[in-house]
Amino acid sequence: MRPTKWYVLAGLGVVSGAAAYLITRAYYSDLPSPTLYAQMSLFVLAIAEGYSASMTKARLEGRNGTRPIDPLIVARLVALAKASSVVGALAAGAYAGFLGWVAQVTSSAAHADVRTSAVGIAAGLALVAGALYLEWSGRLPEDDEAEETDR
Neighbouring residues of 136: CB distance < 8 A, sequence distance ≥ 6: 3, 53
Please count the other Cβ atoms lying within 10 Å of the Cβ belonging to residue 74. Answer: 17
Start-to-end Cα distance in the chain: 17
pLDDT in tens, the chain (151 residues): 788 999 999 999 999 999 999 999 999 888 888 888 989 999 999 999 999 999 999 888 888 888 888 889 999 999 999 999 999 999 999 999 999 999 998 888 888 899 999 999 999 999 999 999 999 998 866 645 555 555 5
Cα-trace Rg, the chain:
19
Tell me the C-alpha distance between 140 and 114, whole Å. 42
pLDDT of residue 109: 82
pLDDT of residue 52: 95
Contact criterion met (CB below 8 Å) for 130 and 53: yes
Tell me the C-alpha distance between 110 and 45, whole Å. 27
Q: How many residues does the chain have?
A: 151
Q: Mind giving me the DSSP string for 83-94? A: HHHHHHHHHHHH
Q: Which three-class secondary structure state does DSSP give residue 138?
A: coil
Of 119, 120, 131, 149, the C-alpha closest to 49 is 131
